[in-house]
Structure 1
Amino acid sequence: MVHPALDMYHYHVWANSVIMDRLLELPRDIYHKEIQSGFSSVAKVLSHIYQVDHTWFEIISGKTMKEAMEHSFQLGPEVEAKSLEEIKNRFVNLSDQWQELLASIEDIDQVLVVENPYAGRLETTVAETLLHVATHGAYHRGNIATMLRQMGHTSVMQDYGLYLYQK
């Protein structure tokens, strides 16, 4: 049986793909269109999800949180400027790297000590980190669904329950 945290990560990858596929069905201009919302464009939301996924990938790979954050957040403007097709490819490549990394970890319940430059020391596990990545992504995909409605478009179902039916 797959560890529940690994399954949640697989759900995250699936849901990212589902929302990006929906975005690819819509007029191209909505991806970078500026709107009044928590984020000013869908591109900014996807860039943020990507940056956080990248940050935690680097932390689990052995970088300090400070190093990982600095590197990942330097990517922000570059990632945000990409087309939707390019950002989807970036997500696919990053999830492939995640899969390779996770396959190399013998125990995802092993303790991971993270020194957050803003919040201090955190003792967590790789599994808990995967849950964080998945819930963070779900929260912000909800932002995208709301933004699409604001622009007169429907979103798409991306619930965990649907993932379970489709896997």
Structure 2
Amino acid sequence: MERIEYEWIKQTRQILLEQCRELTEEEFTKEFEFGFLSIRDTFVHVAGCYHAWLGSFVLSETTFPLLKKEVINNMKVDDIQRYFNQADEYVEKVLEQFKNKFDEPIEKEPSWKAGSGYIRKTPHQLLFHSITHESHHKGQIVTMIRLLGHIPRNTDILGLSDIKFVK
């Protein structure tokens, strides 16, 4: 995977985060019967996936990436942005540190699932999982925004003709 592809993912994520800044607290935390219930909790879950699989499993930089419910309940969009910024740093480190061994398996027990047994996955697989996982949940967030009565902004890369790429 090239860094440019991940930039596209970050840019479409940013579109949704910016739209969430316009939501009321009640809308941002309204619970639905799908996803991780609210827009806030779904975003935190998505970022947590990067923290768990890349930050903890691949890079061994954190031992318990999941946030406690009390912390999540107080998170605002800026807090979620910071949580994603750290996740983005993990992606960059994985792309750099594993560029010559991207498809070499890592076998160990996830720190957040003590006693669950060993998992054998490559950095490539776990990065790809984190990205597809994010895409799945971004679709749920778009649906939540629509159910709140708002028109979701376009997050389709093909429809973003004015998108600027950062290298």
Shorter-chain TM-score range: 0.7 to 0.9
Letter in 1 for 2:74: A
2:47 is matched with: 50
Q: State which of 128, 138, 151 in structure 1 corresponds to 2:125.
A: 128
Q: Which has the higher helix share?
A: 1
For the residues of structure 1 that align with 2:7 and 2:159, how far apart are their CA atoms? Answer: 13
| CA deviation map 1:23-48 (0-9, x unaligned) | 11333431112334333211110111
| CA deviation map 1:52-76 (0-9, x unaligned) | 111012111137xxx84xx122445
Of the two structures, which has the highest relative contact order with CA contacts closer than 8 Å and spacing of 6 or more?
Answer: 1
Percent identity reads 19
1:33 is matched with: 30
2:72 is matched with: 79
Structure 1 residue 101, shift from structure 2 partner:
4.2
1:142 is matched with: 139
- RMSD, aligned CA: 2.8
Q: How many residues align?
A: 159
1:111 is matched with: 105
Structure 1 residue 98, shift from structure 2 partner:
3.0
Go from structure 1 to structure 2 and tell me whether the alpha carbon gap of 1:76 and 1:54 turns closer, same or farther (over 3 Å shift): farther
Give ranges in structure 2 of 5+ residues lacking alignment.
Answer: none
When normalised by structure 1's length, the TM-score is: 0.76
